[in-house]
Amino acid sequence: DLAMRAILNPGDEVIMPDPHYVAYDSCVILAGGTPIMVPTNQENNFEISAADIEARVTSKTKAILIGYPANPTGAVMPKNKLADIAEVARRHQLVVISDEIYAKLVYGVEHTCFATLPEMKEGTILLGGFSKAYAMTGWRVGYAAATKEVIAAMTRIHQYTMMCASTMGQVAAIEALKSGEDSVTEMVEDYNNRRLVIVKGLKDIGLTCFEPRGAFYAFPSIKGTGMNSEEFAERLLTEEKVAVVPGSAFGQCGEGYVRCCYATSLADIEEALSRMKRF
């Protein structure tokens, strides 16, 4: 939200993948901008391509907004494809807003920080935080890294719209940086085990499921059920008391999918899979 309000003028366009985290398009609209969607799907691993981005660049385009590892799909972009996007951004002088909140939560692949790509340090607004990797979701501690000018603009907006992260949250974040890496490594191993269980379980009950390589979500297709994603989610909750998020909440291309979170115990995952099979 701060990044959008700091860089956008009314009518500016921001290119982003579909599906995407629920707040992306709303933040652009609230800042007076226009979100421009790039469809992604299971067949292309839910990866946004440089060619598809460039095809949507106009005289009004101001920025590219990406978030990998991705919520809701768990997709992780390889470095070479991110480099292609960086080339498009440089050629058209676009800002890249890279939401990397799940950067530490990857499985069998490496995460590439967008700002480390050639000539992209100055052209990137890097967003991160402690909520996911350090299991501090309720503490609300995040950060942005960008040029002095952009950070100054974000700070001016910030001081009139909110106070600050709590003192407890800041102290906890410092301690996480000092002492938390072993715990993060252990947690990633646990998430990986849960990831494997939930993806296999979803496939075993007949749902096609893209293999997530990051974050802590599975994004199975429910197209074969004859229900749309909202109906599927509502009936599953009502009839079996299993909560999933309809894919349509994440954009038009999320229709036909549901988001399943595996940031819970293995026992709860197995119980949920059992109930979904019955459903």
Same domain as 198, residue 100: no
| Helix 266-278, helix 181-204: angle, nearest 10 | 20
Domain count, the chain: 2
Burial call 96-120: b when 16+ CB within 10 Å, e when fewer:
bbbbbbbbbbbbeeebbbbbebeeb
Pick from 102, 136, 166: which residue ends a domain?
Answer: 166
- Of the pLDDT bands very low, low, confident and very high (cuts 50, 70, 90), residue 56 is very high
Mean pLDDT of the chain: 97
Phi, psi angles (nearest 5°) of residue 117 = -70, 155
Domain span holding position 90: 2-166
**Six-digit token pair at 16?**
């982003």
Pick from 120, 135, 166: which residue ends a domain?
Answer: 166
8 A C-beta contact, residue 84 and residue 118 = no
Check pLDDT > 90 for residue 113: yes
Mean pLDDT, residues 61-66: 98
Same domain as 31, residue 155: yes
Distances (CA, A) of 249 to 75, 144, 200: 17, 26, 24
Per residue in 114-142, pLDDT tens?
999 999 999 999 999 999 999 999 898 99
- Can you give the pTM of this predicted structure? 0.95
Same domain as 191, residue 139: no
